[in-house]
Chains A and B, each alone.
Chain A
Amino acid sequence: MHELSIALNLLEVAQQTMSEHAESELVAIHIRLGPMSGVVREALESAYLIAREESFCPNAALVIEETELMVDCPKCGDHQVAVSLNDLRCRKCGTVSGRIVGGREMEISALEVKDE
């Protein structure tokens, strides 16, 4: 359960970014989360609610966009969705591919701020 650490990091990065952009009020943090990030969405959502209470933005929402697990398929010659986290074959043709090209994301994509 490292989601609380992740939530605290997330708030720290958001706070830094807010001051860099000289924004005053944070409404929501938008993040992108991949299935291979090692973070469980539900656990992060719960941890975030606890972490934000004592933070600079006790009312800011967390908006999570889940990305897909993508592999570089040697047969299709393109980026394709993988069968699953524990089966890294191309969903389209079934070829094994070890090259993950998407799905590790754990990043803040945008900060939603109050427009004054």
Chain B
Amino acid sequence: MTRLVEVRTQILKQNDVVARELRKQFAEQRRFVVSMVSSPGSGKTQLLQQTLQLLGERYRVAAVVGDLATENDAARLASSGAMVKQITTGTLCHLEAEMVREAIKPWDDIPLDFLFIENVGNLVCPASYDLGENCRLVLFSVTEGEDKPRKYPTIFNTADATVITKMDLAEAVEFDDPAARASIERVRPGMEVLHVSAKTNEGMPAWIHWLESHLPASIP
């Protein structure tokens, strides 16, 4: 004979607890924390490198970057002059809240305006893990196809805004922006969409302005 013990516990309870603590900590520190997810090769690092450079002129910025192997991305980002930390996840396909907490510990007492978390290039696994961020951005490049959001609805649905990257290639690949927006609208109605090219600077001022408008100090 068996009997049922009702429990109702989140399977990722541990991660959720840490994420909640991080979010509280970020609020106290008055940091705006942005995480970025995308498939590999969508231009996260390039965009982040430019972003750190542009924001770095006026703000205190730092970035944590997750990668399966190599520290190349951190080296690229560090060239912007910002503080950068690499999390090498080995075989793990996503970042978890505890990994972020460990990585940013050395910065706990340093004032920061922006903290960026670049997740491992993957549009599936990161969807399940809250990292305590204030805002989750999902990136996809014009070369990936307009229907990407409908292929990965869960990650798009958990995100707060979409950034379409590599706009300099839009014409060459005949990127259909209304189709891309329609695809986003199906999986996350009303989501904000930004367009950038880190290469030609197209859309970068608007992107930087968007980030600034989310700083705790600019929110009344």
B5 & A88 in contact (Cβ 8 Å cutoff) = no
B189 & A113 in contact (Cβ 8 Å cutoff) = no
Number of interchain pairs (Cβ within 8 Å): 107
B186 & A115 in contact (Cβ 8 Å cutoff) = no
Interface of B is mostly: mixed
Query: What chain B residues lie within 8 Å of A114 (beta carbons)?
Result: 1-2
A37 & B14 in contact (Cβ 8 Å cutoff) = no
For B189, give its contact among A30, A85, A98 (CB under 8 Å): A98
Within 8 A of B (CB), among A34-56: 36-39
For B188, give its contact among A27, A38, A98 (CB under 8 Å): A98
| Chain A positions 84 through 116: 1 when the CB is less than 8 Å from some CB of chain B, otherwise 0 | 011110000000111010000011111111110
> Nearest chain-A residue to B147 (Cβ)?
A86
Query: What chain B residues lie within 8 Å of A30 (beta carbons)?
Result: 4
For A, the interface residue count at a CB cutoff of 8 angstroms equals 37
Q: How many Å from the CB of A100 to the closest CB on chain B? A: 7
Query: What chain B residues lie within 8 Å of A37 (beta carbons)?
Result: 128, 154
CB of B54 closer than 8 Å to a CB of A: no
Query: What chain B residues lie within 8 Å of A76 (beta carbons)?
Result: none
Query: What chain B residues lie within 8 Å of A6 (beta carbons)?
Result: 11-12, 128
For A108, give its contact among B9, B150, B158, B185 (CB under 8 Å): B9
Q: How many Å from the CB of A72 to the closest CB on chain B? A: 12
- B-side residues, CB < 8 A to A, are 1-15, 92-94, 96, 124-125, 127-128, 149-151, 153-155, 157-158, 185-190
- A-side residues, CB < 8 A to B, are 1-2, 5-6, 9-10, 12-13, 17, 21, 23, 27-28, 30-31, 36-39, 85-88, 96-98, 100, 106-115
29 A-B contact pairs sorted by A residue (CB < 8 Å): A2-B93, A2-B125, A6-B12, A9-B13, A10-B11, A13-B10, A13-B13, A27-B2, A31-B11, A36-B154, A36-B157, A37-B128, A37-B154, A38-B127, A38-B154, A85-B187, A86-B187, A87-B150, A88-B186, A88-B188, A98-B189, A106-B11, A106-B12, A108-B8, A109-B8, A110-B6, A112-B3, A113-B3, A115-B3
